[in-house]
Amino acid sequence: MVKIGNIELGEFPLLLAPMEDVSDPPFRYVCKQQGADLMYTEFISSEGLIRNAAKSTHKLDVFEYERPIGIQLFGSDINSMHEAALIAEQAKPDLIDINYGCPVKQVACKGAGAALLQDIPKMVSMTKKIVDSVKLPVTVKTRLGWDDKTKNILEVAERLQDIGIKALTVHARTRSQMYKGSADWTLLGETEK
């Protein structure tokens, strides 16, 4: 049985990853009909959310039939991420997910997503502030590291576990690989231990 906080998912759950411009409510509906056990919203900009931007607040829409569902947030400022997590919690998802894995230039070059893999103390501080302030389980999505020279997923996993995240999703590539090249499955196995 896989359990995230109080959420029980069965032995081999099927999860719908958060995908920008893909995992919107109609797509989530189809996935739920096809057996998805846990789904996530598209990722939401913390800055957009705290500024009440329509594009960001619209992504907070979750529906009962989607449960369990997580809202995924991304950002580079600790206080903005904290405030955004509190706003997201009011939408009544089942969990909050933090994106430390997005490799795209528009996100990483602003210090968000995978860029936080270059500043683990900030990543830990940001995550701790969110874990300590919301009543929901907090999970994290990340990558193996920034590039081949900085595959720091083992340190990241240990430090985030120590501050109370309930699950960690790891894309088995570095930020510099983007979505290309070979995934490093050996590091995933070591992270699981």
The CATH number that domain 2-192 falls under is 3.20.20.70
Cα three-residue angle 7-9-12, rounded to 5 degrees: 155
Nearest to 103, CA basis, from 180, 173, 178, 184: 178
Domain ranges for the chain = 2-192
Mean pLDDT over 131-144 rounds to 97
What pLDDT shows up at residue 13? 92
What pLDDT shows up at residue 18? 87
* pLDDT exceeds cutoff 80 at 193: no
Looking at the chain, the whole-number percentage of residues with pLDDT higher than 70 is 99
What digits encode the pLDDT tens for the residues 2-23?
899 889 998 899 998 888 889 9
What digits encode the pLDDT tens for the residues 157-178?
999 999 999 999 999 899 988 9
Mean pLDDT over 71-80 rounds to 98
Average pLDDT, the chain: 94
Angstrom distance (rounded) from CA 134 to CA 121: 20
What digits encode the pLDDT tens for the residues 77-105?
999 999 999 999 999 999 999 999 999 99
Report which DSSP code applies to 11.
S
pTM of the predicted model as reported, rounded to 2 decimal places: 0.94
Q: Which residues are catalytic?
A: 102
Residue 183 confidence class, pLDDT cut points 50, 70, 90: confident
